[in-house]
Amino acid sequence: MNFRKQVARGLALNSSLGRSITFCMVVLLVAGIATSAWTLTRSWQKEVADTERDAINLSVSQARQAEDTFLQAETALRDIRRNLPATGINDINNHQFNNYLSELQQHIPQLHGLMVYDPQGNMIATSFGKIPAQSNNSDREYFIYHRRNAHGSIHIGHVIRSRSTGDLVIPVSLRISDSAGGFTGVLLATVKLDYFRHFYSYFELQNRDLLALLNTDGNTLYVRPFADDVINRNLSASPLFTQELEKKDRGNGTWVSALDHVERIYGFARLERYPLVVAAGYDKPALWASWVKESLPDLVLNALLLVGTLLMGAIIFRQVRMNVRNQNELAELRDELTSINHTLQLMALADGLTGLANRRQFDLFLAKSLKASALKQKPVSLIMIDIDYFKHYNDYYGHVAGDNCLRAVGEILHKLQLNTRDLIARYGGEEFAIILPDTGPEAALFVARQAVNIVRGAQIPHEQTGSAQGTLTISAGCYSITAELNADEAQRLKEGADKALYQAKVQGRNRAVAATDAMLQKA
């Protein structure tokens, strides 16, 4: 007796009553399961949505608190700069100015101290009243930053330990310049890390819930509830910096923390005035456990209803349930395999450093674009881009900074106003490429010049270019063809763009050049 006959016999499908009972049982089970699943899913989704909203609200409120905190420090520093002697900081009356700094510091409770340093990094005035014996801070990151950067904006550095008191502090500094713009010293306000520690402790959070203040470069300033050993740890590889902050200044997301590998529901907010971000994270496993505990009466009731339904037709529905279970398992397995395949495809076609298309995706897209060009008889253009003096950059700033530079250039190029059908790729090393289907030479040259201008406008420091500006630049070469399905067209297009790039380098870099057929024949 085959399986079908066994099922038909066990369910009495050869009778009208058996078919009616089977139909009713299936309807009851499906309705009961669907109703329970829908109710519980809605309840969990609401719990998650409420938590996401709480996380965003907490991060926004703390971002405003942090902004107010550092704004008071900035206001104090600018007030000090206005009250410096017109003849220079060397003419400061130490006793009088120390009293002024001390009085000013007492009105701002979050401040640890206020200091004035001369161009050599020597402390010449302090709110502590007495200048320590070892008071040269020329080696500090903030001092080196202001010595190298002439702008007059506030700089918030990484957490340091005060050489005056041994406390952990956040340095907030301002450059002092003479009338000609020359470097004459640094004003420093140190914010107590304990100020944020105490303030964040007021919030009623669970043991593994997180509240963090970070630099936008991924460096941690303070993270509750972690110990001080996480301070200054770089989290730039976190999805917060690699994904979320690239799309918006505030929002929410769920990911596994790089600090303790706990999955949390995060809210985040970037400060409007300062390069800082506040993140609030709620422990998702703990949230799930709490939701299950609160939903336990509903879960038990739904389970009893389902058990009762099963008991009413245990023999009949047993076979149906097995079939449904098998189908669900197959569907889940299929979805998992589809998801894994999709993830592998994306990883195989993306550059790990910049997130742009890699060389493999570039080659595939170029072949596809040339084929479309031949069919539609419309031109396709290629722009080859090279970072000027990148080897000098690597040698001077180091390979880690070089990687950051490549990533920054990739982000800038990604912001170009291109069509959705265009492709930006990292071609290799410090080279990038842009493929522009259905685009002629004039439009391609326009895009190339736009790329040169936007990178130059970003003003990324590069002191080894030999130019007066001392900023990073790129050179670009572009070439356009209308394909005819010849085997060498991809090579010809790349060679044309590469020769144009070479001409841009020869003509002085920091420019875009379009290759012409005459130029290529001459070459």
Catalytic positions, please? 430
Angle between helices 296-312 and 314-349 (to 10 degrees): 130
Task: Report residue 120 as tokens.
Answer: 């050599």
Residue 270's alpha-carbon distances to 23, 243, 264, 316, in angstroms, are 57, 14, 19, 59
Q: Nearest Cα to 62, choosing from 51, 50, 52, 70? A: 70
Angle between helices 94-106 and 16-82 (to 10 degrees): 150
Return d(Cα 71, Cα 322) in angstroms, integer: 65
Q: Nearest Cα to 483, choosing from 362, 379, 384, 382? A: 379
Return d(Cα 1, Cα 219) in angstroms, integer: 71
Amino acid at 373: S
Dihedral angle at the C-alpha atoms of 236, 242, 243, 244, nearest 10 degrees? 30
Handedness of CA 237, 243, 247, 251 (dihedral sign): negative
The sheet carrying 380-387 orders its strands as 423-428, 431-437, 380-387, 474-481, 512-514
Task: Report residue 216 as tokens.
Answer: 């936008």
Q: What are phi and psi of 374, to 5 degrees?
A: -65, -35
Beta-strand ranges (E) seen in 346-420 are: 380-387
The DSSP bridge pattern shows strands 123-126 and 111-117 to be antiparallel
Q: How many other CB atoms are found less than 10 A from the CB of residue 337? A: 10
Burial class (CB in 10 A: 0-12, 13-18, 19+), 363: middle
